[in-house]
């Protein structure tokens, strides 16, 4: 009887072709808002004429969802007005990226720096701009129609060197 069982069971087995594993729906991976923010800022700011990254630092308050401070190097040239326009465009683009990143915050501070030589000829990054914005105010802005020249008026706190006023 044992031999019949083996024959019987052997007769029932059929050769099958290997099949691909079953595809299961997996949730779309969501990127961390900090990663999205850093990548977006790096892309929008690009590099300067020395081919160095312009995004210097992003810091978050503890607990998170409070303040964000973003520091960047303003691309400067010898024309002061051009540097002012560049700084205003940078600040506006930073705020647009911040909005797109869906980062949670209440207040954001933007700090712009420029490479400047000191009296000994040493070049250092010097803070020339600090702008503070409440998120509740930023949420009301139509960024597509916003003029970067109005960035100082939008800010709750404006601290810029005389050359950038």
Q: Assess if residue 13 is contained within a domain.
A: no
Q: Assess if residue 1 is contained within a domain.
A: no
Q: Assess if residue 106 is contained within a domain.
A: yes
Range of the domain at 62: 31-164
Instruction: Measure Cα distances from 91 to 3, 12, 118, 136 in Å.
Output: 84, 73, 26, 17
57 beta partners: 71
Q: Assess if residue 35 is contained within a domain.
A: yes
Q: Assess if residue 2 is contained within a domain.
A: no
The predicted pLDDT at position 107 comes to 96
Contact predicate 98/108, CB 8 Å: yes
The predicted pLDDT at position 64 comes to 67
The predicted pLDDT at position 31 comes to 65
Q: Assess if residue 105 is contained within a domain.
A: yes
Overall domain count for the chain: 1
The predicted pLDDT at position 134 comes to 96
pTM of structure: 0.77
E strands along the chain, which residues?
55-60, 67-73, 107-117, 123-134, 157-160
Question: Could you give the 3-state DSSP secondary structure of residue 130?
Answer: strand
Q: Assess if residue 97 is contained within a domain.
A: yes
Question: Which residues of the chain register pLDDT less than 70?
Answer: 1-31, 50, 64, 77-81
């Amino acid at each position: 009887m044992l031999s019949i069982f083996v024959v019987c069971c052997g007769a029932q087995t059929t050769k099958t072709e290997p099949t691909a594993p079953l595809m299961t729906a997996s949730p779309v991976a969501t990127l961390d808002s900090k990663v999205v923010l850093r990548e977006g800022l790096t892309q929008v700011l690009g590099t300067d004429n020395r081919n160095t990254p312009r995004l210097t630092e992003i810091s978050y308050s503890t607990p998170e969802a409070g303040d964000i401070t973003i520091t960047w190097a303003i691309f400067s040239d010898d024309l002061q007005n051009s540097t002012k326009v560049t700084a205003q465009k940078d600040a506006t683009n930073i705020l647009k990226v911040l909005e797109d990143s869906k980062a949670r915050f209440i207040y954001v501070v933007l700090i712009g720096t420029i490479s400047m030589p000191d009296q000994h000829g040493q070049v250092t990054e010097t803070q020339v701009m600090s702008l503070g914005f409440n998120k509740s105010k930023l949420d009301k802005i139509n960024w597509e129609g916003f003029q970067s020249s109005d960035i100082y008026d939008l800010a709750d706190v404006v601290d810029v060197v005389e050359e950038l006023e």
